[in-house]
Amino acid sequence: MQEKIQWHTLDTADQVAEAVCQRILAAAEEAISEHGSFKLVLAGGSTPEKVYRLLSKADADWGKWFIYYGDERCLSEEHKDRNSVMATRVFLAQVAIPESQIFTMPAEFGPKLAAEFYQQIVADALPFDMVLLGMGEDGHTASLFPGHQHNLDELTHAVYNSPKPPAERVSLSAKALSNTQQLIFIITGAGKKEAVLQWRSGQDLPVATIKPTAPIDIYMDKDAEPG
């Protein structure tokens, strides 16, 4: 698996965001020319937010974009801590992607119902064209946390007892996240150094369970690069 990971280290989080933005726009053009649509899975977090702000100012064939989410927190529909609320505010409300092509996780209904509902949406969408993911300081990605056990055949998981609040979440599975033409991890900040080191040394982290057939591209800033 290790040889299929391509590490890209840039000086700052802003440069990471710019590079990832350009990769997304190029992937969109490629997918639309090949099969008429671009299916993108969004991540939450502060650096993805920078990416989305850049995308909101870009010129793209928005009518052919389809948007999905890697995970969501089980909070009320308009709660500021939801990934969908952040993505809508800084990106989706600024561009002409049809609302019918934005597939929000109904996490306000709780983990079980939301996961069941979203499973069919994911099944209909696969394979994705591009998946964006972050990584937590504990090596988690989406809402796949260390020590949590899930049915590996599921496309979505109901998540309980998250070590980070809120405790209840919905997540795409490693199986679903791996079913993509391109996969990009966005990792910034000194707090990620230890997890990057563990990942590189082959430790059993949730990030290491994402195994697409295509190479994984990891964009990180110098702060996250182990010394």
| pLDDT tens for each residue of 88-142 | 999 999 999 999 999 999 999 999 999 999 999 999 999 999 999 999 999 999 9
Mean pLDDT for all residues in the chain: 96
In the predicted model, is pLDDT for residue 216 greater than 50? yes
CA distance 50 to 169: 23
Query: Where along the chain do its domains lie?
Result: 2-224
In the predicted model, is pLDDT for residue 3 greater than 60? no
pLDDT digits 0-9 by tens, 146-156:
999 999 999 99
pLDDT digits 0-9 by tens, 163-178:
999 999 999 999 999 9
Render 143-196 in DSSP notation, one character per residue. Answer: TB-TT----TT-SEEEE-S-SSSSS-EEEE-HHHHHSEEEEEEEE-SGGGHHHH
In the predicted model, is pLDDT for residue 1 greater than 50? no
Q: In the chain, what is the greatest distance between 2 CA atoms, to the nearest angstrom?
A: 46
CA distance 220 to 5: 13
| Domain 2-224 coded CATH 3.40.50.1360 | yes
Query: Which alpha helices (H) appear in 83-155, and where do they start and end?
Result: 83-90, 111-125
The band of 227, judged by pLDDT with boundaries at 50, 70 and 90, is confident
CA 78 vs CA 11, 81, 86, 89, 93: distances in Å: 35, 9, 10, 11, 14
Handedness of CA 40, 163, 169, 86 (dihedral sign): negative
User: Helix, strand, or coil here: 38?
Assistant: strand
- The answer to whether the predicted template modeling score (pTM) of the entire model surpasses 0.95 is yes
Nearest residue to 105 (alpha-carbon basis) of 79, 127, 137: 79
